[in-house]
Protein backbone atom coordinates (compact mmCIF):
# COMPACT_ATOMS: atom_id res chain seq x y z
CA UNK A 1 0.00 0.00 0.00
CA UNK A 2 1.22 3.52 -0.82
CA UNK A 3 2.50 5.60 2.09
CA UNK A 4 -0.18 8.20 1.42
CA UNK A 5 -2.89 5.53 1.68
CA UNK A 6 -1.73 4.06 4.99
CA UNK A 7 -3.81 4.63 8.12
CA UNK A 8 -2.03 6.82 10.66
CA UNK A 9 -1.09 4.91 13.82
CA UNK A 10 -1.10 8.16 15.80
CA UNK A 11 -4.77 9.09 15.58
CA UNK A 12 -6.82 5.90 15.62
CA UNK A 13 -9.54 7.53 17.73
CA UNK A 14 -9.62 10.86 15.91
CA UNK A 15 -13.41 11.02 15.97
CA UNK A 16 -13.36 10.98 19.78
CA UNK A 17 -10.96 13.91 20.21
CA UNK A 18 -12.08 17.05 21.98
CA UNK A 19 -12.11 20.00 19.57
CA UNK A 20 -8.81 21.59 20.72
CA UNK A 21 -7.09 18.21 20.46
CA UNK A 22 -8.67 17.58 17.03
CA UNK A 23 -7.46 20.89 15.63
CA UNK A 24 -3.99 20.36 17.11
CA UNK A 25 -3.74 16.94 15.46
CA UNK A 26 -4.29 18.48 12.02
CA UNK A 27 -1.95 21.41 12.65
CA UNK A 28 0.89 19.29 14.04
CA UNK A 29 0.63 16.82 11.17
CA UNK A 30 1.20 19.64 8.67
CA UNK A 31 4.73 20.06 10.04
CA UNK A 32 5.64 16.89 8.18
CA UNK A 33 4.80 18.66 4.92
CA UNK A 34 7.48 21.25 5.65
CA UNK A 35 9.98 18.51 6.47
CA UNK A 36 9.17 16.69 3.23
CA UNK A 37 9.82 19.83 1.17
CA UNK A 38 13.04 20.50 3.06
CA UNK A 39 14.24 16.99 2.22
CA UNK A 40 13.47 17.61 -1.47
CA UNK A 41 15.34 20.94 -1.59
CA UNK A 42 18.28 19.57 -3.65
CA UNK A 43 15.90 18.22 -6.29
CA UNK A 44 13.97 21.49 -6.37
CA UNK A 45 17.23 23.40 -6.89
CA UNK A 46 18.17 21.03 -9.71
CA UNK A 47 14.74 21.56 -11.27
CA UNK A 48 15.14 25.34 -11.24
CA UNK A 49 18.64 25.08 -12.74
CA UNK A 50 17.40 22.80 -15.53
CA UNK A 51 14.32 24.90 -16.24
CA UNK A 52 16.04 28.29 -16.33
CA UNK A 53 17.75 28.12 -19.75
CA UNK A 54 14.64 26.70 -21.38
CA UNK A 55 12.35 29.35 -19.94
CA UNK A 56 14.88 32.09 -20.74
CA UNK A 57 14.82 30.84 -24.34
CA UNK A 58 11.07 31.39 -24.53
CA UNK A 59 9.67 28.16 -23.10
CA UNK A 60 6.45 27.77 -21.17
CA UNK A 61 5.57 26.36 -17.78
CA UNK A 62 2.90 23.68 -18.20
CA UNK A 63 1.29 22.20 -15.09
CA UNK A 64 -0.51 18.84 -15.25
CA UNK A 65 -2.50 17.08 -12.54
CA UNK A 66 -5.79 15.60 -11.38
CA UNK A 67 -7.95 16.42 -8.38
CA UNK A 68 -6.22 18.33 -5.59
CA UNK A 69 -2.84 18.07 -7.31
CA UNK A 70 -4.23 19.49 -10.54
CA UNK A 71 -5.99 22.35 -8.74
CA UNK A 72 -2.74 23.25 -7.00
CA UNK A 73 -1.04 23.38 -10.39
CA UNK A 74 -3.75 25.72 -11.68
CA UNK A 75 -3.30 27.91 -8.62
CA UNK A 76 0.45 28.26 -9.10
CA UNK A 77 0.06 29.00 -12.79
CA UNK A 78 -2.52 31.75 -12.43
CA UNK A 79 -0.64 33.55 -9.65
CA UNK A 80 2.47 34.14 -11.73
CA UNK A 81 0.98 36.99 -13.76
CA UNK A 82 -0.18 39.27 -10.92
CA UNK A 83 2.92 38.51 -8.86
CA UNK A 84 5.66 38.65 -11.49
CA UNK A 85 3.98 39.93 -14.69
CA UNK A 86 4.68 36.50 -16.17
CA UNK A 87 2.79 36.20 -19.49
CA UNK A 88 -0.39 34.18 -19.03
CA UNK A 89 0.21 32.32 -22.29
CA UNK A 90 3.48 31.02 -20.84
CA UNK A 91 1.95 29.53 -17.68
CA UNK A 92 -0.62 26.93 -18.66
CA UNK A 93 -2.37 24.26 -16.64
CA UNK A 94 -4.06 21.00 -17.59
CA UNK A 95 -6.54 19.51 -15.14
CA UNK A 96 -8.00 16.05 -15.65
CA UNK A 97 -11.65 16.53 -16.53
CA UNK A 98 -11.14 20.01 -17.96
CA UNK A 99 -11.81 23.46 -16.57
CA UNK A 100 -15.05 22.43 -14.85
CA UNK A 101 -13.07 19.97 -12.70
CA UNK A 102 -11.63 22.97 -10.88
CA UNK A 103 -14.97 23.31 -9.09
CA UNK A 104 -16.69 19.92 -9.38
CA UNK A 105 -14.97 16.54 -9.25
CA UNK A 106 -15.09 14.74 -12.60
CA UNK A 107 -15.11 11.07 -11.68
CA UNK A 108 -12.85 8.81 -13.71
CA UNK A 109 -11.01 11.62 -15.50
CA UNK A 110 -7.78 10.89 -13.68
CA UNK A 111 -7.79 7.29 -14.98
CA UNK A 112 -7.68 8.35 -18.64
CA UNK A 113 -4.05 8.13 -19.71
CA UNK A 114 -4.71 8.67 -23.44
CA UNK A 115 -6.63 11.86 -22.63
CA UNK A 116 -3.68 13.14 -20.60
CA UNK A 117 -1.41 12.52 -23.58
CA UNK A 118 -3.87 14.16 -25.98
CA UNK A 119 -4.37 17.22 -23.76
CA UNK A 120 -0.62 17.75 -23.46
CA UNK A 121 0.00 17.17 -27.16
CA UNK A 122 -2.74 19.71 -27.90
CA UNK A 123 -0.53 22.42 -26.42
CA UNK A 124 2.14 21.57 -29.02
CA UNK A 125 5.02 21.35 -26.54
CA UNK A 126 8.60 21.73 -27.64
CA UNK A 127 12.07 21.36 -26.18
CA UNK A 128 11.99 24.72 -24.40
CA UNK A 129 8.85 23.93 -22.42
CA UNK A 130 8.95 22.80 -18.80
CA UNK A 131 6.17 20.42 -17.77
CA UNK A 132 5.38 20.07 -14.07
CA UNK A 133 3.54 16.80 -13.46
CA UNK A 134 1.76 16.40 -10.14
CA UNK A 135 0.30 13.30 -8.52
CA UNK A 136 0.25 12.43 -4.83
CA UNK A 137 0.26 8.72 -5.65
CA UNK A 138 2.83 9.19 -8.39
CA UNK A 139 0.87 6.82 -10.59
CA UNK A 140 -2.17 8.76 -11.85
CA UNK A 141 -2.82 7.54 -15.44
CA UNK A 142 -3.83 10.99 -16.77
CA UNK A 143 -0.56 12.47 -15.52
CA UNK A 144 1.55 9.57 -16.78
CA UNK A 145 -0.08 9.93 -20.19
CA UNK A 146 0.86 13.62 -20.25
CA UNK A 147 4.39 12.68 -19.16
CA UNK A 148 4.79 10.36 -22.14
CA UNK A 149 3.63 13.05 -24.55
CA UNK A 150 5.91 15.65 -22.96
CA UNK A 151 8.94 13.37 -23.15
CA UNK A 152 8.18 12.58 -26.80
CA UNK A 153 8.25 16.33 -27.51
CA UNK A 154 11.59 16.77 -25.76
CA UNK A 155 10.19 19.01 -23.01
CA UNK A 156 11.79 19.06 -19.57
CA UNK A 157 9.63 16.88 -17.30
CA UNK A 158 9.52 17.54 -13.55
CA UNK A 159 7.62 14.90 -11.59
CA UNK A 160 6.17 15.68 -8.15
CA UNK A 161 4.86 12.76 -6.07
CA UNK A 162 4.29 11.98 -2.39
CA UNK A 163 5.38 8.34 -2.47
CA UNK A 164 8.95 7.07 -2.85
CA UNK A 165 9.71 5.00 -5.93
CA UNK A 166 6.68 6.29 -7.85
CA UNK A 167 6.50 5.76 -11.63
CA UNK A 168 6.08 9.51 -12.13
CA UNK A 169 9.31 10.49 -10.40
CA UNK A 170 11.18 7.54 -11.90
CA UNK A 171 10.20 8.44 -15.47
CA UNK A 172 10.53 12.24 -15.21
CA UNK A 173 13.78 14.02 -16.05
CA UNK A 174 13.89 15.23 -12.45
CA UNK A 175 11.82 13.48 -9.81
CA UNK A 176 10.81 15.41 -6.69
CA UNK A 177 9.57 13.11 -3.93
CA UNK A 178 7.63 14.78 -1.13
CA UNK A 179 7.39 11.87 1.30
CA UNK A 180 4.64 13.04 3.64
CA UNK A 181 3.57 9.58 4.80
CA UNK A 182 0.16 8.65 6.19
CA UNK A 183 -2.52 11.31 6.55
CA UNK A 184 -4.43 12.11 9.74
CA UNK A 185 -7.56 11.11 7.80
CA UNK A 186 -6.48 7.98 5.98
CA UNK A 187 -5.91 8.58 2.28
CA UNK A 188 -6.99 12.23 2.24
CA UNK A 189 -4.12 13.68 0.24
CA UNK A 190 -5.74 17.11 0.27
CA UNK A 191 -4.11 17.38 3.72
CA UNK A 192 -0.34 17.39 4.19
CA UNK A 193 0.40 15.81 0.80
CA UNK A 194 -1.36 18.75 -0.83
CA UNK A 195 0.39 21.21 1.48
CA UNK A 196 3.78 19.82 0.49
CA UNK A 197 2.91 20.08 -3.20
CA UNK A 198 1.80 23.68 -2.75
CA UNK A 199 5.04 24.59 -0.98
CA UNK A 200 7.18 22.78 -3.54
CA UNK A 201 5.46 24.50 -6.48
CA UNK A 202 5.66 27.87 -4.76
CA UNK A 203 9.36 27.34 -4.08
CA UNK A 204 10.11 26.22 -7.62
CA UNK A 205 8.25 29.00 -9.42
CA UNK A 206 9.37 31.75 -7.03
CA UNK A 207 13.04 30.72 -7.26
CA UNK A 208 12.73 30.59 -11.04
CA UNK A 209 11.26 34.10 -11.13
CA UNK A 210 14.08 35.42 -8.94
CA UNK A 211 16.58 34.02 -11.44
CA UNK A 212 14.60 35.65 -14.26
CA UNK A 213 15.16 39.08 -12.67
CA UNK A 214 11.63 39.50 -11.37
CA UNK A 215 12.92 40.43 -7.91
CA UNK A 216 15.28 43.18 -6.66
CA UNK A 217 16.73 42.35 -3.27
CA UNK A 218 13.68 40.63 -1.83
CA UNK A 219 11.20 43.07 -3.36
CA UNK A 220 8.55 42.02 -5.87
CA UNK A 221 9.47 44.63 -8.46
CA UNK A 222 7.94 43.23 -11.65
CA UNK A 223 4.47 43.80 -10.27
CA UNK A 224 1.93 45.37 -12.63
CA UNK A 225 -0.96 46.36 -10.35
CA UNK A 226 -4.51 45.85 -11.54
CA UNK A 227 -6.45 47.14 -8.54
CA UNK A 228 -6.24 49.72 -5.75
CA UNK A 229 -4.61 47.34 -3.27
CA UNK A 230 -1.86 46.41 -5.71
CA UNK A 231 -1.28 50.05 -6.67
CA UNK A 232 -0.68 50.82 -2.99
CA UNK A 233 1.71 47.90 -2.85
CA UNK A 234 3.54 49.17 -5.92
CA UNK A 235 3.89 52.57 -4.28
CA UNK A 236 5.23 51.07 -1.07
CA UNK A 237 7.73 48.90 -2.97
CA UNK A 238 8.96 51.86 -5.00
CA UNK A 239 9.39 54.03 -1.92
CA UNK A 240 11.24 51.28 -0.06
CA UNK A 241 13.62 50.63 -2.94
CA UNK A 242 14.38 54.27 -3.71
CA UNK A 243 13.72 56.30 -0.57
CA UNK A 244 11.50 58.60 -2.65
CA UNK A 245 8.65 60.44 -0.94
CA UNK A 246 5.07 59.35 -1.72
CA UNK A 247 4.32 62.19 -4.11
CA UNK A 248 7.47 61.72 -6.17
CA UNK A 249 7.14 57.94 -6.27
CA UNK A 250 3.47 58.16 -7.24
CA UNK A 251 4.21 60.64 -10.01
CA UNK A 252 6.85 58.42 -11.63
CA UNK A 253 4.72 55.32 -11.25
CA UNK A 254 1.89 57.08 -13.07
CA UNK A 255 4.26 57.88 -15.94
CA UNK A 256 5.31 54.23 -16.36
CA UNK A 257 1.90 52.59 -15.92
CA UNK A 258 2.81 51.60 -12.36
CA UNK A 259 5.63 49.30 -13.46
CA UNK A 260 7.73 49.17 -10.31
CA UNK A 261 10.97 48.14 -12.01
CA UNK A 262 10.92 51.11 -14.33
CA UNK A 263 10.03 53.53 -11.54
CA UNK A 264 12.92 52.33 -9.37
CA UNK A 265 15.53 52.76 -12.09
CA UNK A 266 14.14 56.14 -13.14
CA UNK A 267 14.10 57.46 -9.58
CA UNK A 268 17.47 56.12 -8.46
CA UNK A 269 19.33 57.21 -11.60
CA UNK A 270 17.39 60.37 -12.36
CA UNK A 271 16.32 59.06 -15.76
CA UNK A 272 13.20 59.54 -17.81
CA UNK A 273 10.82 56.62 -17.98
CA UNK A 274 11.94 55.87 -21.54
CA UNK A 275 15.59 55.90 -20.49
CA UNK A 276 14.84 53.64 -17.52
CA UNK A 277 13.09 51.14 -19.77
CA UNK A 278 16.06 51.13 -22.14
CA UNK A 279 18.46 50.55 -19.24
CA UNK A 280 16.38 47.60 -18.05
CA UNK A 281 16.22 46.15 -21.55
CA UNK A 282 20.00 46.36 -21.83
CA UNK A 283 20.31 44.61 -18.46
CA UNK A 284 17.89 41.81 -19.44
CA UNK A 285 15.36 43.10 -16.95
CA UNK A 286 17.70 43.10 -13.95
CA UNK A 287 17.15 46.15 -11.76
CA UNK A 288 20.46 45.57 -10.00
CA UNK A 289 22.47 45.43 -13.22
CA UNK A 290 20.62 48.43 -14.67
CA UNK A 291 21.56 50.45 -11.59
CA UNK A 292 25.18 49.32 -11.65
CA UNK A 293 25.74 49.67 -15.39
CA UNK A 294 23.31 52.25 -16.82
CA UNK A 295 23.59 52.59 -20.59
Residues forming the active site: 79, 110
d(CA 114, CA 116): 5
Amino acid sequence: MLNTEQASSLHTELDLYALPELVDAFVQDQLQAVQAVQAAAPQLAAAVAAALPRIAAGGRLIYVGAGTSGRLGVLDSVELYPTFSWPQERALALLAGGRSAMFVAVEGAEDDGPQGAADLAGLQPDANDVVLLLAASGATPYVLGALRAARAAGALCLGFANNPGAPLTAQADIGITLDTGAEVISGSTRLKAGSAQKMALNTFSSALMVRLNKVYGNLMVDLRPSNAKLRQRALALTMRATGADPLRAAAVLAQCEHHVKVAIVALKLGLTVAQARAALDAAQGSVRQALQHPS
